[in-house]
Amino acid sequence: MQQLTQTLRASAKMNILHSMMTTPMRLLFLLLLSGFSLAAFAQPAPGKLEPLPPPPAMGGAADNEPEVTITKEKVQTVEEYRVGGKLYMIKIIPKVGKPYYLVDDRGDGKFSRQESLDSGVRPPQWVIHRF
């Protein structure tokens, strides 16, 4: 019982000491924070400002858009996609069957057949926890 009483007294002393130390620190922090905010508002207003010039025209966007050439034949439709005059993809749409793509992946002029433009990468989408 005596040990419990001593523990409670020590705890009470620590709480008083802790509150005496933290109150001035909090007050000092509040004063510093308000001083910095007042210094930001005390700056003089800028003089005569000129309006900003309009943004430049986007000339590069038209260069990045693909040129599509569509050729319709009896048995299929061929769409050729070019950027900067270089052919990078051909989409072939047969009258009967699924469309497929010929894609130049490396830029060397050799085309490989793909059934779709889906890369096949499937990131895991596991549910770990629901809230």
pLDDT in tens, 99-123: 999 988 888 888 888 887 777 777 7
3-class state of residue 1 by DSSP? coil
Task: Please indicate, yes or no, if residue 94 is contained in any of the structural domains.
Answer: yes
Residue ranges of E strands in 1-131: 67-72, 76-83, 86-94, 100-103, 112-114
State percent of the chain over pLDDT 70: 78
Task: Please indicate, yes or no, if residue 21 is contained in any of the structural domains.
Answer: yes
Task: Please indicate, yes or no, if residue 105 is contained in any of the structural domains.
Answer: yes
Phi first, then psi, for residue 14 (nearest 5°) are -65, -40
| In a shared domain, residues 37 and 80 | no
| In a shared domain, residues 66 and 36 | no
Q: Residue 97: which domain range?
A: 62-114
| In a shared domain, residues 37 and 1 | yes
Give the pTM.
Answer: 0.46
Instruction: Kindly report, residue by residue over 1-52, the tens digit of the pLDDT.
Output: 666 566 656 666 566 555 556 677 788 888 888 887 777 777 777 788 888 8
> What are residue 92's DSSP bridge partners?
78, 100
Number of domains in the chain: 2
Q: Which is nearest to 101 in space by CA: 69, 67, 73, 78?
A: 78
Task: Please indicate, yes or no, if residue 102 is contained in any of the structural domains.
Answer: yes
Task: Please indicate, yes or no, if residue 54 is contained in any of the structural domains.
Answer: no
Instruction: Kindly report, residue by residue over 71-101, the tens digit of the pLDDT.
Output: 999 999 999 999 888 899 999 999 998 999 9
